[in-house]
Amino acid sequence: MATGKVRTSSFSRNFSAAPTSSVPGLKYGPNGTIFLSSGIPDLDKILGGGFHLGSLVMIMEDTEAPHHMLLLRTFMSQGLVHNQPVLYASPVKNPRAFLGTLPTTLVSKDEKSRNTDAEQKDLRIAWQYKKYLGENKQHSEERDGKIEYCNDFDLKKPIEKHLIMGNRVECVSLLDCSNLVGFRDSCSKFLSQFPRYDGNISSAGRIAIQSFCAPQCNYYDKEWDMLSFIRSLKSMVRASNTVAFLTFPPSLLSPSVSKRLQHLADTLLSVKAIPDEDKELATLLTGYQDMVGLLSIHKVSRFNTQVPVILDATTYSIKLQKRRSLVLECLNQAPVDGSSGSSYGTSGGCSTTSKTSALDF
Amino acid sequence: MDRPANLLDEALGLDDGEANSLQPRVGRSVLVEDCVETSGAFVLHHLIKRFLSPNHSSSDSVVIFVAFSQPFSHYDRILRKMGCNLVVQRENKRLIFFDMLMLDCPDVDGVEGGLIALYGNIHKAVEINSLNKNITIIIDDISLLEVAANGSTKDVLNFLHYCHTLTTQFGCTIITVLHEDIYSSEDGFTLPLQMEYLADITIKAEPLITGLAADIHGQLTVLNKGGSDGLGRLKGKIRNFHYRVKENSVDYFYPGSRS
């Protein structure tokens, strides 16, 4: 026991040297976890590699805007590109129609243009330098391989037909479920294809559930049914090689149920639309015109570790680059006249400094 | 072992030194409260390690772990990094692990059946180990137990009261985790209030008011009702300190005491 103690107490952090997974679209992470891409390169980078296999990812919707759909679409498309089976559920009559709106990968020509674009950016003024550090590193690493871990998606072009025609996508309408028992069964049937990895993984799956607690569903008033469904979904997913991606409108739920859901999530994000004419924000932030929304990261899954992930920033702006591909950027405070721009000066080691700005960037 | 003074242990009264550590924490109940922003799980890991580590004064302690929130492998990985092998402890019968991830009690009969069966198992495990041993029951966490019981707060409270009887009957320590922010908004106050009333020690993990920081992960407030220490002094105390979670340990320090 004593020797074991000595050995195990020094933790190793050599995950950067870990071999990349042989299965396309998967990547080894720290603490014996495996990552799967969210479909947005920037989001993967922010989360430290992507979503953990076996995790439950929740997006809190902005009820006034469909920004969660952007994330949902890229998540599903990335799965299809990697040939991973997808289970999609949504509260509409014909969920399969949604598959036609999934984005396709950006072709390499565009990728080059993205590169030159980035090179041009290098010449920008210095106070935004943080954005450009290490940019494109991830891309160049993996472009040599046949299948990239994470693709850029062109939100304007629909996905190739052959990817959605096969039986890889299973669609469930949440309107048909009078209670959640049937849906739970279909989830567990889907999940049984991917038993938990022990060394070698053959494939991974994705579950995408859109607007889980939408009021048009029959089970909407049964709060405890919904909670216990999510709880069992979480434990089923945890015991398999899948990622469940679920969006829900928190404002339509009672605060306590919403909090419970947030506790159940392994990774918790929220999206928010930006009002068109918010003059106050427009003067505060640079690049306000290009933003379509804000993404906040509330919780990052931590499997097999107790150390919380502290991000540089928790709120990112969602931008559409050339109206096609989705990029996330740190919010940058616009330089206020005369003041020395200290937008990043919040780190300070001392905790007792009570200087806190009204906006948490 | 020469262990550096640890604010959490001190606050919990675990660090009484070898001399008067005969049975310092018999029959206590500890409540860990946390919220979405800061998880209090590290407190649990710390306590598990304390109770299972071989150089702990009472090396014959047994931990009964009722896990609703994470699978065994998760805890095993974490505790291994802290220098405590749960697999070995489980084989040595010092850790009794109940994996409750899939426990589900759909209807009224199921609720009672499931919880009664669970209590039966705990009771049996306690009884077997009750001779000359310090038993610690850990429930992680109550909020999920509530979901498993399909929202029946009454049943959950009954279950917890039953578990509390074990503290007096067998001198167990009971440690529970509660996500406190769930109950802050509505009239579901009974559960957290009753839990806090029953608890001798309440440990509350909160984020810093000033927001996230890389070197301070949050603050702990420890309320130790304690009772008297034999000399007639009441030891009830509130302590407040910051912490930083690391892979194999946690740093505790008073606000501003780190440069």
* Residue A195, strand partner residues: A240
Look up the CATH number of the domain holding residue B116.
3.40.50.300
Q: Do B143 and A260 touch (CB under 8 A)?
A: yes
Contacts of B144 in chain A (CB under 8 A): 231, 264
Distance between CA atoms of B1 and A295, rounded to whole angstroms?
A: 48
Is B223 a domain residue?
Answer: no
Contacts of A344 in chain B (CB under 8 A): none
Give the nearest partner residue to B78 out of A1, A10, A306, using CB atoms.
A306
Contacts of A25 (CB under 8 A, 6+ apart): A36, A37, A78, A79, A81, A82, A83, A84, A147, A149, A204
Percent of chain A with pLDDT over 70: 74
How far does the CA of residue B186 sit from the closest CA of chain A (Å)?
7
Residue A148 pLDDT: 79
Least confident of A162-166, B48-52, B68-72, B75-79: A162-166
Q: Do A231 and B147 touch (CB under 8 A)?
A: yes
- The arithmetic mean of pLDDT across residues B174-189, rounded, is 84
| Residue A41 · residue A129 · CB < 8 Å | no
Q: Is the pLDDT of residue A181 over 60?
A: yes
Band (B112; pLDDT cuts 50, 70, 90): low
Decide which of A99 and A334 is more confident.
Answer: A99
Q: Which of B147, B152, B183, B219 to mutate to test binding with chain A, by most A CBs within 10 Å of its CB?
A: B147
Q: Do A305 and B77 touch (CB under 8 A)?
A: yes
- The arithmetic mean of pLDDT across residues A333-349, rounded, is 49
Q: Do A262 and B36 touch (CB under 8 A)?
A: yes
- The arithmetic mean of pLDDT across residues B222-246, rounded, is 74
Q: E-assigned strands of chain A?
A: 26-28, 34-36, 51-52, 56-60, 86-90, 103-105, 153-158, 169-173, 205-209, 242-248, 267-273, 291-299, 315-321, 325-330
Residue A348 pLDDT: 38
Distance between CA atoms of A95 and A172, rounded to whole angstroms?
A: 7
Cα–Cα distances (Å) from B52 to A32, A274, B47, B61, in that order, read: 24, 52, 8, 7
Classify residue A333 by its DSSP letter: B
Give the number of other Cβ atoms within 10 Å of residue B176's Cβ: 24
Per-chain mean pLDDT for chain B: 81
Q: Is the pLDDT of residue B155 over 90?
A: no
| Residue B142 · residue B160 · CB < 8 Å | yes
Percent of chain A with pLDDT over 90: 21
Decide which of B112 and A205 is more confident.
Answer: A205
Contacts of A95 (CB under 8 A, 6+ apart): A88, A89, A171, A172, A173
Band (A163; pLDDT cuts 50, 70, 90): confident
Token pair for residue B155? Answer: 């049943």
Q: A220-257 b/e with 16+ CB inside 10 Å = b?
A: bebbbbbbbbbbbbbbbbbbbbbbbbbbbbbeebeebb
Q: Is A12 on the interface with B (CB under 8 A)?
A: no
Is B172 a domain residue?
Answer: yes
Is B2 a domain residue?
Answer: no
Q: Is the pLDDT of residue A313 over 60?
A: yes
Q: Is the pLDDT of residue A121 over 60?
A: no
Decide which of B244 and B132 is more confident.
Answer: B244
Band (A343; pLDDT cuts 50, 70, 90): very low
Q: Is the pLDDT of residue A301 over 70?
A: yes
- The arithmetic mean of pLDDT across residues A141-165, rounded, is 73
Window 31-60 of A, Cβ < 8 Å to B:
31-32
Cα–Cα distances (Å) from A39 to A104, A140, A180, A305, B148, in that order, read: 11, 16, 28, 25, 34
Q: Do B248 and A11 touch (CB under 8 A)?
A: yes
Q: Is the pLDDT of residue B138 over 90?
A: yes
Q: Is the pLDDT of residue B228 over 60?
A: no
- The arithmetic mean of pLDDT across residues A221-239, rounded, is 89
Residue A82 amino acid letter: H
Contacts of A360 in chain B (CB under 8 A): 211
Least confident of A56-60, A90-94, A156-160, B208-212: B208-212
Cα–Cα distances (Å) from B58 to A29, B4, B36, B54, B85, in that order, read: 38, 19, 35, 8, 18
Is B19 a domain residue?
Answer: no
Cβ-Cβ pairs closer than 8 A, A with B, add up to 130
Q: Is A22 on the interface with B (CB under 8 A)?
A: no
Contacts of B166 (CB under 8 A, 6+ apart): B122, B123, B126, B135, B137, B172, B174
Distance between CA atoms of A137 and A115, rounded to whole angstroms?
A: 11
Q: Is the pLDDT of residue A129 over 90?
A: no
Contacts of A31 in chain B (CB under 8 A): 77
pLDDT tens per residue, range A138-148: 444 444 445 67
Distance between CA atoms of B252 and B259, rounded to whole angstroms?
A: 14
Closest residue on chain A to B67 (Cα) = A235
Band (A135; pLDDT cuts 50, 70, 90): very low
- The arithmetic mean of pLDDT across residues B235-250, rounded, is 85
Decide which of A284 and B243 is more confident.
Answer: B243
Q: What dihedral angle (degrees, nearest 10) is formed by the CA atoms of A79, A85, A89, A93?
A: 110
Distance between CA atoms of A317 and A272, rounded to whole angstroms?
A: 10
Domain regions of chain A by residue span: 19-119+135-330
Q: Is the pLDDT of residue A361 over 80?
A: no
Least confident of A348-357, B10-19, B208-217: A348-357
Total structural domains within chain B: 1
Q: Is the pLDDT of residue B19 over 70?
A: no
Decide which of B13 and B21 is more confident.
Answer: B13
Residue A345 pLDDT: 39
Give the number of other Cβ atoms within 10 Å of residue B186's Cβ: 12
Q: Is the pLDDT of residue A277 over 60?
A: yes
Q: Do B255 and A255 touch (CB under 8 A)?
A: no
Q: Do B77 and A304 touch (CB under 8 A)?
A: yes
How far does the CA of residue B12 sit from the closest CA of chain A (Å)?
20
State the Cα angle at B122 between B116 and B124, rounded to 5°: 100
Q: Do A238 and B71 touch (CB under 8 A)?
A: yes
A56-65, A143-152, B54-63, range with greatest mean pLDDT: A56-65
Closest residue on chain B to A360 (Cα) = B211
Q: Is the pLDDT of residue A334 over 90?
A: no
Contacts of B147 in chain A (CB under 8 A): 224, 227-228, 231, 260
- The arithmetic mean of pLDDT across residues B151-168, rounded, is 88
Decide which of A134 and A208 is more confident.
Answer: A208
Beta strands B250-253; B237-245: pairing state: antiparallel
Contacts of A346 in chain B (CB under 8 A): 211
Per-chain mean pLDDT for chain A: 77
Window 251-310 of A, Cβ < 8 Å to B:
254-256, 259-260, 262-264, 268, 298-299, 303-308, 310
Band (B226; pLDDT cuts 50, 70, 90): low
Q: Which helix (H) or strand (E) covers residue B139, if one does?
A: strand B135-140
Window 319-358 of A, Cβ < 8 Å to B:
346-347, 349-354, 356
Q: Is A232 on the interface with B (CB under 8 A)?
A: yes
Q: Do B247 and A303 touch (CB under 8 A)?
A: no
Q: Is A311 on the interface with B (CB under 8 A)?
A: yes
Domain A19-119+135-330 adopts which CATH fold?
A: Rossmann fold (3.40.50)
Q: Is the pLDDT of residue A231 over 70?
A: yes
Beta strands A205-209; A86-90: pairing state: parallel
Closest residue on chain B to A239 (Cα) = B71
Contacts of A361 in chain B (CB under 8 A): none
Q: Is the pLDDT of residue A183 over 50?
A: yes
Residue A113 pLDDT: 47
Residue B23 pLDDT: 45
Residue-range definition of the domain harbouring residue B139: 24-200
